[in-house]
Amino acid sequence: MSYTLDMAYGTDENDFVLTMNADDHCCHDGYYIYAEGTEYGGIVGRIGTDPDTNTVIYKGLTWHGVLQKRIVCPPSGRSYRRVDGEANSVLSEIISVIGLSGLFRASTEDSGITIHSYQIPRYIDAYTCIKNMLKEFDAKLMIRWVNGYVRLSAEAVSDYSQDEEFDPSQVSFTVEKNYRPTNHLICLGQGELTQRAVIHLFTDNAGGIQPYTTVSDPVKDSDYIRNTSRQVLFGPDEVAEVLDYPGAETVTNYVKLTSQPSDWATKCENYFVRKDPEAGSDEEVEKYEAVSKLDVGYVLQKSKPSDWNTKYSKYYTRSGENYNPVEATTVYNLLTQKPSDWTTKYENYYRKNGNNYYQLTGVEEEVYTVLNKAPADWARKYNTYYYLYSDGVLTQWKTVDGVGYYRYKLQTQKPTDWDENYSNYYRKYTAAEKKKLKTKKQYVQLQSREDGTVPAWRSKRFYTRYDLQKAPSWSANPKPKYIHTTEVNPPTWATNTYYSKDETAAPTWTANTYYTLSTDKVAPKWSANKYYREVKDRYATMVAEGIERLAEAWQTDSMGIALEETDVVYDIGDIVGVLEPKTGISTIQEVTKKIIKIDNDDVKIEYEVK
């Protein structure tokens, strides 16, 4: 009953120190300490004594620290791990991946928060991973010891700045606002001099990143805006900085070819084909290998061979990409039975049209092949796959539809149609409203005021809603999914329709017409949607680093606030705001750290914000 407990968790530390009288010594290595129903607790990892005070001291990691010491790795054979779905279900998946299911459990309740196709950074600690992931979707991590387990759950961030901004009459605080952070970042990547990868990133006067690509999903260098056309702040308002990042990784992407390249016949090795995993392998990463030319085995003869008259049958004529043995005097025989080599050698047969005979060519057919498992690029390219649709009258192939969802982006600039269409925008429910309405929803559409006046717009208070699409959950049933290709197949066999050609004598020699076997190679037959072009993206990694650098620059406002003076208990990730009336300085900050001090059940909490 007599003890002191000092613990801190959030941005750093994530550990505890528990001190009690040595006569009450009760813990050993690996013991858990906890307060039922709270976030307080951890695992004993170090034990010491102080004879001068007759105390025993237990030290260890808090539950946050335990998560921090586990690393989330990408799956075998994949570059990244992706998660998608209801937030608590995703937490359960992560707990299983890091091997803590025996101690940690995720809540089974529906959090009302959906994680949309989140790509987890490679080899990141689990605590940082979960915090960053939930923050991306306006949520926070809740940790509670409940009935013998550490229970994790996701909840919407409580934005107390939406309810009120503290002033000095309420709590003690210091505040410093940086009005001129970096708003122009010149990113320098790979290359030398004029060949170096250079891109300019700009923000508006509230830190909003200006567009830096010409497409929503860039895959190659030309998809990026590499000039200064998106600059919005000039003259004294421009604050520039250089990001020198020569080690920025070049990302290799592969773009599916839907039409045959003009140089396919001669340069097919410059293109790629996706390589399927070996049978029994659990690898799902996309792998590509260069297209290989096929052995043709024929070389053009420019002068008449000495054995032409007697051995002409060992020579060949070329028809497009195909080679056929030289035939003597041409005699065409009507075929009454299907030849055994019809499927592979239909080019050797003929069809009559009037008095002329024409060599057969293949028939192009659209082929839809059922997929037994999700393709590796399903999450990003689901709409290149098909399903069979029927409305009861017409049956047709349709591309797979995406699943719609909403994302809300915080406004940093006033919309141009605010006065006329402010009701098209959104704000967050306040904590009081959420409690009163008992809702898990985070956003509410702005309503028309009773007096008809337009609400005053404020930076970083309102949101624009975007309708987005993501891949539907993979399922082979009840609607099977298909991949579409174009194949060249033999014409349909019909009795008494086609002819074979018979030769009884050597044909007249013609220079540059006949071939002998050689080691020549030729491009494979073209099939749409089967081959890929390799493209390079030197900017993706550099831009991600640049955006993170700009975000840090716009988070340099400092606030020292004694939140313990309020009656509210805050969680890591909650938002608070202050307003200093004399200077008019206001800032909004996130609770990043909690320091808990318990002395014989007397609990004191301190907070850090950033």
**What is the average per-residue pLDDT within 227-237?**
94
Strand partners, 275: 287
pLDDT at 516: 86
What Rg do the C-alpha atoms of the chain give, in angstroms? Answer: 35
Identify which of 325, 277, 273 has the alpha carbon closest to the alpha carbon of residue 297.
325
Q: Provide the pLDDT for residue 282.
A: 46
CA distances 340 to 207, 335, 344, Å, are 73, 12, 9
Q: String of b and e for 110-144 (b: at least 16 CB within 10 Å)?
A: ebbbbbeebebeeebbbbebbbebbeebbbbbbbb
Residues 6 or more apart whose Cβ sits within 8 Å of residue 193: none
Lowest mean pLDDT among 80-84, 503-507, 548-552: 503-507
pLDDT digits (tens, 9 = 90+) for 143-200: 999 999 999 999 999 998 877 778 787 888 788 888 899 999 999 999 999 999 999 9
Give all strands (DSSP E) within 215-321, no chain letters: 240-244, 251-256, 271-275, 287-290, 294-295, 299-300, 316-319
Torsion over CA of 139, 140, 146 and 148, rounded to 10 degrees?
110
Q: Report if pTM > 0.75.
A: no
Give the model's confidence band at 280: pLDDT under 50 very low, under 70 low, under 90 confident, else very high.
very low
Judged on CB neighbours under 10 Å (0-12, 13-18, 19+), 370 is exposed
**Helices marked H in 346-414 — which ranges?**
378-381
pLDDT tens, 310-360? 888 888 888 887 888 888 767 788 999 999 999 889 999 999 999 999 999
pLDDT at 5 over 90: yes
Name the residue among 304, 362, 360, 363 with its Cα closest to residue 501: 360
279 has a pLDDT exceeding 60: no
CATH class (in words) of the domain with range 70-156: alpha beta
The residue-averaged pLDDT of 18-29 equals 95
Examine the pLDDT at 285 and tell me if it is beyond 60. no
Arithmetic mean of pLDDT over the chain: 90
Report the share of the chain in percent with pLDDT over 90: 58
Within 63-183, strands assigned E span 71-72, 81-86, 104-106, 114-120, 124-125, 139-146, 149-156, 173-176
What is the residue extent of each domain of the chain?
Answer: 3-66, 70-156, 160-177+557-609, 184-250+538-553, 254-293, 367-402+472-484, 403-470
422: left (phi over 0), alpha (psi -120 to 50) or beta: alpha
Tokens linked to 591: 């609770």
- DSSP-assigned letters across all residues of 468-500: EEEPPPP--SSS--EEEEEEEEPPPP-TTTEEE
Count other C-beta atoms under 10 Å from residue 229's C-beta: 10
Closest CA to 431 of 37, 88, 140, 115: 140
- Residues constituting the chain: 610
pLDDT at 34: 95
Cis bond upstream, residue 478 (ω within 30): yes
Q: Which of 83, 153, 67, 69 is nearest to 119 (CA)?
A: 83
Q: pLDDT tens digits, residue range 590-609?
A: 999 999 999 988 899 998 88
How many Å separate Cα 97 from the centre of its chain?
19
Query: What is the distance in angstroms between the CA of the first residue and the CA of the last residue of the chain?
Result: 36
Span 376-390, pLDDT tens digits:
888 889 999 999 999
Alpha carbon distance 172, 561 (integer Å):
6
Q: What is the tens place of the pLDDT at every residue in 444-469? A: 998 877 777 888 898 889 999 999 99
- In the three-class reduction of DSSP (H, G, I as helix; E, B as strand; rest coil), residue 563 is classed as helix
Please, which residues have CB within 8 angstroms of residue 145's CB and are 6 or more apart in sequence? 34, 35, 36, 37, 38, 39, 40, 41, 63, 151
Compute the Cα dihedral for 534, 539, 542, 543 and give only its sign.
Answer: negative
Residue 287, pLDDT score:
84
Across-strand partners of 300? 515
For residue 517, pLDDT beyond 90:
no
CA 129, CA 120: separation in Å to the nearest integer? 7
> 20: pLDDT confidence band, cut at 50, 70 and 90?
very high
What backbone phi and psi angles, to 5 degrees, belong to 68? -65, -25
Q: Does residue 574 have a pLDDT over 80?
A: yes
pLDDT interval class at 104 (50, 70, 90) = very high
Residue 61 contacts by C-beta under 8 Å, 6 or more apart in sequence? 14, 15, 16, 42, 43, 45, 68, 69
Residue 239, pLDDT score: 96
Residue 424: how many other CB atoms lie within 10 Å: 13
Tokens standing for 522?
Answer: 């030729």
**The pLDDT value given to residue 503:** 65
228: pLDDT confidence band, cut at 50, 70 and 90? very high
Among 349, 302, 293, 281, which residue's Cα sits nearest to residue 321? 293
Per-residue model confidence as pLDDT tens digits over 50-66: 999 999 999 999 999 99
- Tokens representing 384? 């290149």
* pLDDT of 531 strictly over 90: yes
